[in-house]
Amino acid sequence: MATTRKVIIIGSGPAGYTAAIYAARANLAPLMISGLQSGGQLMLTTLVENYPGFVDGVMGPELMETMRKQAERFGTDMIAEDATAVDLSRRPFLVRVGEAVYEGETVIVATGASAKLLGLPGERELMGRGVSTCATCDGFFFKDQNIMVVGGGDSAMEEALYLARLGRRVDVVHRRDTLRASKIMQERAAKNAKITFIWNSVVDSIADAAAGKVTSVNLRDVVTGNVTTHAVDGLFVAIGHQPNTALVRGQLELLPNDYVKVVPGTTQTSVPGVFAAGDVADFTWRQAVTAAGTGCMAALDGEKFLAAMEYEAIAAE
């Protein structure tokens, strides 16, 4: 087994890379298990205009590549594979990557969350080209255009209300005839003149992947089976997110919604020395800049934890 690392970071994206930058600059020589598909959700986006420091915006993959290089510059070791198992019941903690096992005095979990998609042909190809899972991220690109939101919960209503401030028209598509959203959110959406509801309907297909942009959406009425075509410029899928917590399930305390539970105001999890950063612990904001912020917090929390361990070891001598 290799030498015990002071910090092991599981996952990349804004949270993981920022944690790596801070940990590396603190001479903690972090090891990052970046995953086979590194970079997180920003790898599925095109132009990012709301990340500070880029006047003209930056492409999501380019931003992630820049962060990766910055983390490497300060001495972060990276393994472009998926962590397959962890043992957080003992210290040093164990992180398994295939047949290899790594020891860490601290672990930062930055595995993110995945937006639930419709699973339709062309959906992923059109992601960032008319299909989106984040109104705050992409709504600006649809000013005075026709927008469709899929979903019936609070998140869908929040997306619709936000987009109604920007778009010409917002159609909310829901598979039932009543919403799951809280009463106050339903009322706000119903009172907005720009928002129209299309009930008992699901998205049947999305056009036009060949053209590289969304031009229309076919909806199927779940009661009658009738299919209708709706011309739209943007399709926002708001049917929820799934935190990537399978790796730590049963070892870290999770919230009822499966996100990692952290001590308020910190990134500390239920296991001392294990920290969670980014969307794996954030079901409220889910922005690149907030993920980066908690990545910074996790690295600093980890640094303080290691310093306290070192002090206790000296005191015990």
Nearest-5° angle of CA 254, CA 6, CA 86? 40
Q: Which of 77, 82, 87, 134 is flagged as catalytic?
A: 134
* Residue 57 structure tokens: 């915006």
**Euclidean distance between CA atoms 260 and 244, whole angstroms:** 9
**Euclidean distance between CA atoms 110 and 295, whole angstroms:** 8
Q: For this structure, is 296 an active site residue?
A: no
Q: How many helices (H) and strands (E) does the chain have?
A: 6, 19
Q: Are the beta carbons of 25 and 51 closer than 8 angstroms?
A: no
- Regarding beta strands 93-97 and 31-33, do their DSSP bridges make them parallel or antiparallel, or are they unpaired? unpaired
Phi-psi label, residue 164: left if phi above 0, alpha if psi -120 to 50, beta otherwise: alpha
Q: Which of 77, 82, 138, 171 is flagged as catalytic?
A: 138
Residue 115: closest CA among 78, 159, 79: 159
How far, in Å, are 207, 271, 286 from residue 260 at the CA level?
37, 11, 14
Q: Which residues are catalytic?
A: 134, 137-138
